[in-house]
Amino acid sequence: MGNHYIKKISVGLVIFSLFGVNGFYFLLTAQVLSVQNRYLNRVNLPLNFFSENPTYSITLTPEELEVSVSTYDPWIRSACQKHSLDPALVKAVIHAESKFDPLAVSPRGAVGLMQINPTMVRELGIKDPFNPKHNIDGGVRYLKDLMNAFEGDQKLALAAYNAGPSRVYQHNGIPPFKDTKKYIKQVFRFLAYYQKNRTS
């Protein structure tokens, strides 16, 4: 009887020990993964991330493909060479902003391919914002200024392009606006496509 009782205790201790050790490692692993996830969420993907990782590439819908054009590629390439930006990023911004419509006007008065607001049109000295070449050059200059202002942080630069730099500074990061978050995701989707299918 005594031996049987001792065996039960021994088995119980072994099981407890196994669960205890495994539980400890489980909690430790969960903690490490949590820290990793928080870190990865803060890290910006490099602009060539998608082209070097084709499994992350995303195809466009038929509707998105229909509006995507290469008409403005020479001007995009020229402006990007001048201001040191990835043409795929600029093309992604144009796709998200105006769907390649040079005459697009937003409800807030932003105009042209890169949807530049009236204040920035004046500050950038753009004489004709509906002229694709002028609009692209001004928009690329502005986007490059934002990239510099936010130390190369692509997400913050895009958030500032969409919602305004003051909103990004005010919220110390990406503003909690659904439209802005959706916009950033959309630009990164298009960026993935244009990096894989470069024409600029």
What is the Cα–Cα distance from 137 to 133, expressed in whole angstroms?
Answer: 6
Torsion of CA 64, 67, 71, 73, to 10 degrees: -30
Locate 197 and state its tokens: 């299918």
In the annotation, is 123 catalytic? Answer: no
Contacts for 78 with CB less than 8 Å, ≥ 6 apart: 137
One of 52, 97, 123, 151 is an active-site residue; which one? 97
* Per-position b or e across 96-133, b if 16+ CB within 10 A of its CB: bbbebebebeeeeebbbbbbbbeebbeebebeebebbb
Catalytic residue positions? 97
